[in-house]
Chains A and B, each alone.
Chain A
Amino acid sequence: MTQAVQTVALGVLIGGVYALMAAGLTLVFGIMGIVNVAQGAFLVLVAMLTWKAWQVTGIDPILLALATTPLMFGVGWVLYRLVVVRVRASSPAMSMLLTFGIALTIEGLLNVTAGNYFRSATPPYFAQSFTIGSVVLPKAQVYGFLAALLVLGLLYLVLNRTWTGRAIRATAQNPSGAALVGISASTVAALSFAIGAATAGTGGSILAVLYPFFPASHYDWIAKLLGIIVLGGMGSLRGAWVGALILGLAETITATYGSPRWSTVVFYAVILLVLIVRPHGLFGTRLREDAVA
């Protein structure tokens, strides 16, 4: 029984962090139809910045998200205005190539400036745990989960309770309708790309504490994140949550009760099954053009 609680708790904690990382990716896709392959590289970039800042100042890495999140918002905004905007009207393949290019550029720059070394931030609590009964909850995971929850909550409020959020959702649902009532498509797009990058700001700072990383780590992360949003339904925030929890639980449950060798397979098997029954993922919406095809 304890083992079951332990397994589920660990799965949920890690799932929350995955959810935050995937949220930005799914948001940008939902609004712009762009799969931002650079999301993983954003994470690693922020993790590196966080690690450096932690080394120099000693400020808690997860608290540093207060700085990295707005910073990445700015980076996202500028990247959109300078680069991404040029492929908005092109085919999805173009935007994927572009963002992949951005990812490679970030990897290359990190290689040159920070060096090809593994890093990880180790604040005093990184190897400590909270113990409830005989259930062990690693402190780093708990703090990371709480930070992720906070940012996801804020994101939910912004999208549902503010005019800006309504504009973003309106554009996602019906771009031409939104334009007709006076919503500037380009501003909304820049905004959502910036928000997407900002989630990688918090996510990256958490990553710095939870896992060792080096410049090429972003391939592993983007693979995970894409799996999550395909399972949840591309463009759906709720889907990202559910997909992330399923990944977290699949990892821990298979590792505990089966063999860790199967954890990746189990997750992708779930994706496969879901896609057979629901081709758009768990919470994906069918578009008009899909009905024709």
Chain B
Amino acid sequence: MRERSVRLRLRALVACAALLVSAGCGGGGQAGGGGGPILIGTSLPLTGQFSQPGGEARRGYEIWRDRVNAAGGLLGRQVDLRVTDDASNQDTIIADYTKLITQDKVDLLLGSFSSLLNYAASAVAERNQMLFVEPAGAAPNMFTRGFKMLFFAQPATAPHHADGVTEWVKSLPEAQRPRTAAFITQDDPFTRPVIESLQRQLEAAGLRTVHSTVYPANTTNFQPIVSAAVAESPDLFAQGAQFEDGIGAVRALRQVGFSPKVFFQTNAPGNGNQYSDGVGKDATEGVLYSTSWSEAAKTPVNAEFAQEYRKRFNGPPTEDAADAFAAGQVLQEAVTKVGRIDQVALADWLRANEVPTILGPLRWAANGEPQSSYMVAQWQNGKVEVVSPKPAATTDRIVFPKPAWP
């Protein structure tokens, strides 16, 4: 306990010092031009709570950087990526981006992972008038601050994450449609709005909510939470899960022997083998989730990205790495089309244009909020299939109702 508060105090001190330094320097990220490499700075959660997505984001950025450099660089200059580690801490990430902008004088920025960290980091970028393309950070309150330099490089914000699921439920014949629903979600700035919005949409579509609850991020014990939900025998069970909580809930559902007709989770099922190993190999059948990316999707450069990832890291590519790669693509397109590094001009260009990425085409509202839609994916026969929207779908079949747990 004490060691924690000491660490916190230390971090606060560092952050304050960094702020003072930046104020003293008068802010300003005027990077020198010239023919040297273009320096791109980012701070990622390489250690601590978000180290898993943070590490994946780094992989995505690095694949993007090497691809750009192999093709001759940006504006004819090689790209140099500077990655610092913010230890999943909001204070540290503020200090990191401040240093990248004011001392390292980076030419461009790329965002970090999780809404929590990007919320703080994007404010530093905005204050310094630096373009901030973030690969994660879907929480709705990211976009209510009137920022002009923030762009979220995924198809939509959290409240629209599960729109595809509602569409699919509505498309079912009246007689088959689920009638009751239970919603549980982690108290997380991303998963909570996804589930709350899904609940509103499904209620509007005529489903009755029989249970809804929010649990704290550090919850490990899922039996009581799941037991309370299944006491109402919901037809549809939706969970706003990051990862461990998604595994924990499936285990608890299996332990109490309850299998809903429709089972939807955010994030967790998108983790490939880690998910199927955690819930049990044969227990994934019929699990639905919404995702920004799928390896199977036929978007430009996607196959090359996936192939490169498999070659380098000897495993299946992840959504987090793909999102980071896409953020790189967005930055690249803007710089190439504008033809120079002028932060405000880049932001103006992004507001007015559509960018093709491996996640599909992205376009933005004035506040940097993306305007496309997510894919709905489902585990079928031990594999992930995209089931909607139609152009991205890899199969026509949707497993429904979900078979009982093995």
Instruction: Give bound CA distance, A107 to B216, whole Å.
Output: 24
Instruction: Give bound CA distance, A108 to B85, whole Å.
Output: 13
Instruction: Give bound CA distance, A136 to B224, whole Å.
Output: 11
Contact A120 B223 (CB under 8 A): no
A160 on interface, CB distance cutoff 8 Å: no
Contact B247 A260 (CB under 8 A): no
B215 on interface, CB distance cutoff 8 Å: yes
Contact B219 A263 (CB under 8 A): yes
Known: A6-B227, A10-B224, A111-B47. A118 touches B216 (CB 8 A): no
Among A219, A251, A252, A261, contact of B214 (Cβ-Cβ < 8 Å): A261
Known: A122-B278, A214-B52. A128 touches B255 (CB 8 A): yes
| A217-269 interface (Cβ within 8 A of B) | 219-220, 223, 226, 230, 248, 251-253, 255-256, 259-261, 263-264
Chain B's closest residue to A255 (CB) is: B224
Contact B224 A7 (CB under 8 A): yes
Residues of A within 8 A of B283 (CB): 127
B307 on interface, CB distance cutoff 8 Å: no
Instruction: Give bound CA distance, A226 to B4, whole Å.
Output: 11
Chain A's closest residue to B88 (CB) is: A216
Instruction: Give bound CA distance, A62 to B187, whole Å.
Output: 32
Contact B55 A264 (CB under 8 A): no
Question: B317 to nearest A CB, angstroms?
Answer: 14
B145 on interface, CB distance cutoff 8 Å: no
A37 on interface, CB distance cutoff 8 Å: yes
Interface extent on A, as a size class?
35 or more
Beyond A37-B3, A97-B3, A252-B224, 15 additional contacts (C-beta under 8 Å) are: A3-B227, A96-B3, A111-B51, A118-B278, A122-B278, A122-B280, A127-B254, A127-B283, A129-B257, A136-B255, A138-B251, A216-B88, A251-B224, A260-B219, A261-B187
Which 9 A-B pairs rank lowest in CB-CB distance, beginning with the nearest?
A127-B254, A255-B224, A260-B215, A138-B255, A252-B224, A212-B244, A256-B224, A129-B255, A212-B247
- Chain B: residues with CB nearer than 8 A to chain A? 1-4, 47-49, 51-52, 55, 88, 187, 213-216, 218-221, 223-225, 227-228, 231, 243-244, 247-248, 251-252, 254-257, 271, 274, 277-278, 280, 283, 405
- Chain A: residues with CB nearer than 8 A to chain B? 3, 6-7, 10, 14, 35, 37, 93, 96-97, 100, 107-108, 111, 116-120, 122, 126-129, 136, 138, 141, 211-216, 219-220, 223, 226, 230, 248, 251-253, 255-256, 259-261, 263-264
